[in-house]
């Protein structure tokens, strides 16, 4: 066998064997995270109750504090659950147990069941050994399932692990989220919910609020309120003054009314849009731009 080469470069040729389980564990922690995970793929450690004394655990790819542990696609393991007690409640915990032999330094994994204590009242989870493999722990137990036993019967098998999604799945979900947001924003613009941009210019000396909105106008009124005093305070400050505010509006697009706009007016601190002719009613789109100049 070739001499073991000492190097920190995992992904490189070193002239002989040079990658240790410690290096891989640390690299996987940096990639996947420092905790215990079931990775995407296959049946992801799915549990199936066979009897009140047997639960089948299907294939999975575990990452136990950076140690990858692979159960093949066709693989499964049946774990044994001890008999329940009539009139008593008990919680057992199924774990994926990591062990390291201190003399040989050989590392292994296995399924195990941590049996809880029967209780006439509410069942309590048994203690599970949590070690830090990074710092040399020789025993660590990854929680997989809580098995709830009432009397002689298994009443529930509750998953306790996190599934870590792979990059392909995350890419699909991000693409779907972006699509949903785009459609939602498009729907908002179509219905004219409050689609709006707010930004500042010239070092914050000018603040701009622009957007589009729909107001419902009544027959023979000839005006509609656009913005209240409270809205203007929220945008420009409680001490704003309308003499520093300029407002521009125009008739909208797909919900435009057959009217002409006058210049918008400020009355008692509120902004109104006047238009003619006044014998119109229904929804009317208004595109607007407010500019406020601070001292």
Residue 191: per-residue pLDDT: 44
Short-list 245, 249, 239, CA closest to 214: 249
Average pLDDT over residues 56-75: 96
CATH of 175-293, one of 2.60.40, 3.40.50, 3.90.550, 3.10.560: 2.60.40
* Residue pLDDT, tens place only, 202-233: 888 999 999 999 899 999 999 999 999 999 99
Architecture field, domain 33-164: Sandwich (2.60)
* Residue pLDDT, tens place only, 177-197: 877 776 665 544 444 445 788
Taking the domains of the chain in order of start, what are their residue ranges? 1-32, 33-164, 175-293
Residue burial 182-191, b: 16+ Cβ < 10 Å; e: rest? eeeeeeeeee
Short-list 134, 132, 139, CA closest to 110: 139
- Threshold 0.95, pTM exceeds: no
What gap in Å lies between CA 116 and CA 125, rounded to an integer?
6
| DSSP 8-state secondary structure symbol assigned to residue 205 | T
């Amino acid at each position: 066998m070739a001499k073991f080469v000492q190097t920190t470069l995992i992904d490189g040729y070193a002239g002989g064997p040079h990658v240790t389980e410690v290096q891989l564990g640390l690299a996987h922690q940096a990639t996947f995270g420092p905790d215990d995970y079931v990775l995407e793929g296959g049946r992801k450690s799915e549990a199936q109750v066979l009897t009140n004394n047997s639960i089948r655990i299907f294939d999975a790819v575990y990452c136990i504090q950076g140690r990858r542990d692979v159960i093949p696609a066709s693989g499964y393991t049946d774990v044994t659950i001890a008999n329940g007690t009539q009139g008593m409640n008990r919680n057992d915990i199924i774990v994926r147990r990591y062990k390291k032999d201190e003399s040989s330094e050989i590392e292994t994994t296995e399924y195990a069941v941590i049996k809880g204590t029967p209780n006439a009242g509410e069942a309590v989870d048994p203690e599970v050994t949590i070690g830090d493999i990074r710092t040399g722990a020789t025993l660590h137990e990854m929680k997989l399932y809580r098995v709830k036993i009432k009397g002689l019967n298994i009443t529930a098998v509750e998953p306790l692990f996190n599934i870590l999604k792979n990059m392909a799945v995350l890419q699909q979900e991000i693409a779907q989220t972006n699509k949903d947001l785009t459609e939602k924003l498009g729907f908002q613009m179509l219905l004219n919910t409050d689609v709006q941009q707010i930004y500042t210019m010239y070092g914050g000396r000018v603040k701009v609020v622009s957007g589009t909105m729909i107001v419902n106008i009544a027959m023979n009124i000839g005006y509609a309120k656009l913005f209240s005093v409270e809205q203007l305070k929220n945008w420009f400050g409680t001490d704003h003054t309308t003499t520093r505010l300029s407002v521009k509006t125009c008739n909208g697009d797909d919900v435009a009314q057959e009217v002409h706009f006058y210049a918008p007016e400020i009355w008692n601190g509120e902004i109104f849009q006047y238009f003619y002719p006044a014998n119109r009613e229904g929804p009317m789109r208004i595109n607007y731009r407010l500019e406020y100049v601070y001292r």
